[in-house]
Amino acid sequence: MKNKNNYDYLLSDLTQLTGVGKKTMSILKKKKVNNIFDLLWRLPKSYTDRSLSSKVNELQVGNIHTIKVVPLKYNFPRVRNLPNRVNCEDETGKIDCVFFNSYEGYIRKILPLNEEVTISGKISIFKSKYQITNPSYVSKDSSVIEKVHNKYSLTEGISEKVYNKIITQILKNLPILNEWHNDEILKKFDKESWNSSIIKLHDPINIANYKSNFYRRLAYDEILSSFLVNSEIRKKIKKIKKISKTFTNKPYLNTISKLNFNLTKDQKNALVNINKDLSSKSKMFRLLQGDVGSGKTIVSLISALNVIESNFQVAFMAPTEILARQHYNLAKQLFPKNKRIELLSGKSNIFEKKKIIQGLKNHKIEMVFGTHAIFQKKIIFSKLGYIIIDEQHKFGVRQRKLLSDKGGKNCDILLMSATPIPRTLTMSIYGDMDVSIIREKPSHRKEIKTYSKLESNINTVINFTRKSIKEGNQIFWVCPLIEESKKLDHQSAIEKYRSLNKLFPNKVGLLHSKIENEEKEEILNKFLNKEYLVLVSTTIIEVGIDFPNANVIIIENSNKFGLSQLHQLRGRVGRGSKQATCILLFKSNLSVNAKKRINILKNSNDGFKISEEDMKLRGFGDLLGFKQSGIKNFKLADPIHNEDLFILAEKQIREIEKENIDIKKYKPLLKLYDQADIINDIV
Ligand code: ADP
Ligand code: MG
């Protein structure tokens, strides 16, 4: 065996294995199994005990048996649909081996006449005679069969036999890795080594043995490696020296005095942290986390003003054009008139775009708002000092790192996210950043009242809408996307628009992704100016949009959304001082679990709490759509059941950071578990 003493074997591709050809490899590749290491995490689901060998007179129909028999006679009917049959016997009775779709030559080879072979398979009965149809195992050597065989959830095209062979081969050749954990940690897992843990993991007697030491050790390896990678990135970014920003607090105080509210304590704290980072000599890489409506925008704009004040440029990136424009308008309102800020919009004509590009290049423009378009190649900043990114919780660690690199060393970075995550996950999701949290909502806010209703009761909802309109309120009416067909995304919204427009003529607006930007904006403006009182929309309004006068939101087909998404949508209302209402419509009666989830929403307006509860109910995998986000999915570790391990890992990372412990010995761990290029420049 090559490379017996290190991890290269585990990272090599599957053709290293005997018995894995191009076909098997490509099947596994489709399942994201690219190397030997990846295969280790596909765990046996159950097993078949073929160790008990039986005699023909002891067989039980429907069970799997392993028996030694002697083939006596071939019956090859050569008629379509009739199987080939081999009459066999032992000293106690007769049994047939039946083959569908097998060639005669193959059958003659595996079942030579008058020689004893061992066969294994499920026993059935046909014309009062025992038979085994397509036996799973046939061999002259009974020791090959008389074992406990793992059942893996197999991929089409790979048989249990082949799969077991592959796994056995890997386990036999596992390299001995130097232990990366210290004694104190190891003791917690009864000193299980990585090697023995992996072997135990594939031992059929250990299936679902989640609480055992070997399992917890492997889970801990995963958690620690994910935390370590993030911590190293954070350290690395911290080491980047930059020109510190210098500003006075005069424009900042002026801006605040223009607001008709006071900043909350958490907003002030966040600002203090950000300002400190901006004026420090090392690069800022910070996350501003706060529930929907907690007031992150104003914090980011004030800090942007400070950066402009210190003679650097600022780029503000939003996920949608609507949102970019809204932030831009707010900045125009708040910033001193002499600040040159622009919106780079898909709608701007070539001339305007050229002017903006020119202005950014020669520093005539101090701040630009836009979608990811502001990071196109042709856009060159003269002196970019600050990037603010709104609502990009779907950015993974890698994307953030790229962005940070792109801005250059003098560029501070602030990410804002309204997606609260359970505490145990903070380190694995945002461990590469410093985090400021706004927990406190502006004081005048009332809790949003949340109700669920069957769609068949739509009339009560319409009546409620009518009443709300009379009281001077505005209403969001959200229709879900039709997932099956991207083209039809907006259909349900259009239909709803038509029916509501009949009830409330000229008072209803319609918004969906197919509407041109220019028109979109007109519609939003009409809603803002209260020409429209009802806005029918797809989830396009989910992120960030701020309409303080809208305080009813009706969400159709609510079971299409996850809890956190519903919470986000609901957060579009209740931003003013009036009582807000959210009505969740359902097509049919809710299941017990769905009811539990809806109750979480009804009982809480706290996004952090909702995410914790949601995680407990649904498990981590589906949480908040993090699945598609490039954020690490754990193979064994589970933030709910292994909470203690997450806490332990966080403690260990803090220690490593504080005492500056050399992480070289974790190199194999990181190489294996992360397999990422960022590690290469770390260890
Ligand atoms: P989010 O954190 O969801 O991005 P926004 O920044 O959009 O929240 O703020 C939501 C609304 O709350 C806006 O209308 C904003 O003007 C208002 N707001 C922000 N801070 C305060 C505050 N301290 N007191 C009252 N209203 C505030
Ligand atoms: Mg926002």
For 351-379, how does the pLDDT look when each residue is reduced to its tens digit (9 = 90+)?
A: 999 999 999 999 999 999 998 888 888 88
CA of 466 to the centre of ligand 1 (A): 28
> From the alpha carbon of 391, which atom of ligand 1 is closest?
4
Is the predicted pLDDT of residue 147 greater than 90, yes or no? no
DSSP string computed for 162-225: HHHHHHHHHHHTPPPPPP-S-HHHHHTTTT--HHHHHHHHT-GGGTT-TTSHHHHHHHHHHHHH
Instruction: Return the best residue to mutate from 256, 261, 288, 419 for the ligand 1 pocket (most ligand atoms within 8 A of CB).
Output: 261
Percent of the chain residues past pLDDT 90, beyond the cut? 44
Among all chains, which residue has been given the structure tokens 């403006």?
Answer: 525
Percent of the chain residues past pLDDT 70, beyond the cut? 92
Q: What is the pLDDT of residue 450?
A: 94
Ranked by mean pLDDT, the top range of 28-32, 100-104, 315-319, 619-623 is 315-319
Is the predicted pLDDT of residue 631 greater than 60, yes or no? no
Edge to edge, the sheet with strand 449-454 lists 449-454, 581-586, 550-555, 474-478, 534-537, 508-511
Query: Which residue in 311, 345, 305, 307 sits closest to 326, CA to CA?
Result: 345
pTM: 0.74
**pLDDT band for position 624 (50/70/90)?**
very low
Q: Could you tell me if the CB of 548 is within 6 A of ligand 1? A: yes
For range 297-326, the mean pLDDT: 92
Q: What is the pLDDT of residue 433?
A: 86
Q: What is the pLDDT of residue 357?
A: 95
Is the predicted pLDDT of residue 265 greater than 80, yes or no? yes
> From the alpha carbon of 548, which atom of ligand 1 is closest?
14
Q: Could you tell me if the CB of 418 is within 6 A of ligand 1? A: yes
Q: Could you tell me if the CB of 294 is within 6 A of ligand 1? A: yes
Q: What's the burial of 126, exposed, middle or buried (CB within 10 Å: 0-12/13-18/19+)?
A: exposed
Q: What is the pLDDT of residues 203-234, one digit of tens each?
A: 888 887 888 999 999 999 999 998 998 888 88
Among all chains, which residue has been given the structure tokens 């159709």?
Answer: 556
For range 490-506, the mean pLDDT: 86
Query: Which residue in 360, 323, 362 sits closest to 345, CA to CA?
Result: 323
| Helix intervals (H) in 517-559 | 517-528
CA of 576 to the centre of ligand 1 (A): 9
User: In whole angstroms, how far apart are CA 451 and each of 472, 550, 580?
Assistant: 21, 17, 11
Q: With the C-alpha atoms ordered 20, 23, 29, 34, is the resulting torsion angle positive or negative?
A: positive
Whole-angstrom distance, CA of residue 145 vs CA of residue 140: 10
How many other CB atoms are found less than 10 A from the CB of residue 380?
11
Query: Which residue in 387, 381, 410 sits closest to 399, CA to CA?
Result: 387
**pLDDT band for position 607 (50/70/90)?**
confident
Nearest ligand, CA 568: 1
Q: Could you tell me if the CB of 261 is within 6 A of ligand 1? A: yes
CA of 250 to the centre of ligand 1 (A): 22
Instruction: Return the best residue to mutate from 294, 297, 328, 417 for the ligand 1 pocket (most ligand atoms within 8 A of CB).
Output: 297
Query: Which residue in 24, 57, 274 sits closest to 163, CA to CA?
Result: 24
| Contact in structure between 30 and 44 (CB atoms under 8 Å) | no
Among all chains, which residue has been given the structure tokens 């949290």?
Answer: 437
Q: What is the pLDDT of residue 266?
A: 94
| Helix intervals (H) in 250-295 | 250-258, 265-279
Nearest ligand, CA 444: 1
Q: What is the pLDDT of residues 12-68, one digit of tens each?
A: 888 888 888 888 888 888 888 889 999 898 888 778 788 777 899 999 999 889 999
Q: What is the pLDDT of residues 275-293, one digit of tens each?
A: 999 999 999 999 999 888 8
Instruction: Return the best residue to mutate from 256, 263, 294 for the ligand 1 pocket (most ligand atoms within 8 A of CB).
Output: 294
Tell the residue nearest (CA) to atom 4 of ligand 1.
296
Is the predicted pLDDT of residue 630 greater than 50, yes or no? no
SS3 percent helix, strand, coil of the chain, rounded to 5, is 45, 20, 40
Strand partners, 453: 585
User: In whole angstroms, how far apart are CA 71 and each of 101, 113, 128, 157, 241?
Assistant: 19, 5, 19, 29, 79
Q: What is the pLDDT of residues 547-600, one digit of tens each?
A: 888 999 999 988 877 788 888 889 889 877 789 999 999 888 778 888 888 889
DSSP state of 241: B
Which is more confident, 51 or 83? 83
